[in-house]
Amino acid sequence: MHRARVVDVWEALQAVQPGIAAAAAERRSPASLAKLEDAARRFAAREGGREVAVADVAGFFDALSDAALNPVFNLLNEPLLRLLKPSLAVIIDRVPQARSRIEAAQKEIVAAVKARDAKAADEWMTRHIRDFRRGYEVAGIALSTEVGEELGGAPALS
């Protein structure tokens, strides 16, 4: 994990994900839009526990990256999502409004991608990533925590 801290992951997400969302809005195909809509629907269905929710969030980010039609974005997403998953699991467990806020952000991002509105997609993803930081704070995860460490007493996902 290269001693990455939660704040490092958050900064990387903030730097990369809004651009991916904007590119997806500009380049998406009908098939990739359908895949993105399906990923958002899966998360909104709220079926399963935190592991399913975390996998559904990762699936949304993967579908968005696929819609951007840039294979480098897919390569960037893989390690970022692997680093995000443990803290996201804790946020989903500890922050009652986490699922509804993720669902709302995904809905807005999908709408922007569907409308081919790169600016709105960028802005909504920026808000979504900022919300992760607030989730860390509410969940009691110190931003200085190394990703491989136990996150505030909660078991991490691999």
Integer Cα distance of 112 and 108 in angstroms: 6
Please indicate, yes or no, if residue 156 is contained in any of the structural domains.
Answer: no
Confidence of residue 150 (pLDDT cuts 50, 70, 90): low
| Residue 151, beta-bridge partner list | 154
Question: In the predicted model, what is the mean pLDDT of the chain?
Answer: 91
Question: Does residue 81 fall inside a structural domain?
Answer: yes
Q: Is residue 91 part of a domain?
A: yes
Q: What is the pLDDT of residues 33-67, one digit of tens each?
A: 999 999 999 999 988 889 999 999 999 999 999 99
- Predicted local confidence at residue 56, as pLDDT: 96
Mutual angle of helices 71-94 and 50-67, in 10-degree steps: 150
The model's pTM is: 0.90
pLDDT of 1 strictly over 80: no
CA atoms in the 13 A half-sphere facing the CB of 13: 25
DSSP 149: S
Report the amino acid identity of residue 8. D
Work out the percent of the chain whose per-residue pLDDT is above 90. Answer: 86
Contact between 70 and 19 under an 8 Å Cβ cutoff? The reply is no
Predicted local distance difference test score (pLDDT) of residue 27: 98
Find, among 46, 44, 28, 39, the residue nearest to 117 by Cα.
28
- Helix/strand/coil percent split, the chain, to 5: 75, 5, 20
Quick: pLDDT tens for 102-140: 999 999 999 999 999 999 999 999 999 999 999 999 999
**Tokens matching residue 26:** 């500009």
Domain assignment present for 153: no
> What percent of the chain shows pLDDT beyond 70?
92
Does 155 have pLDDT greater than 80?
no
The whole domain housing 124 covers 6-139
Do 105 and 146 form a contact (C-beta atoms < 8 A)? no
Q: Residue 49: give its domain's CATH number.
A: 1.20.120.530
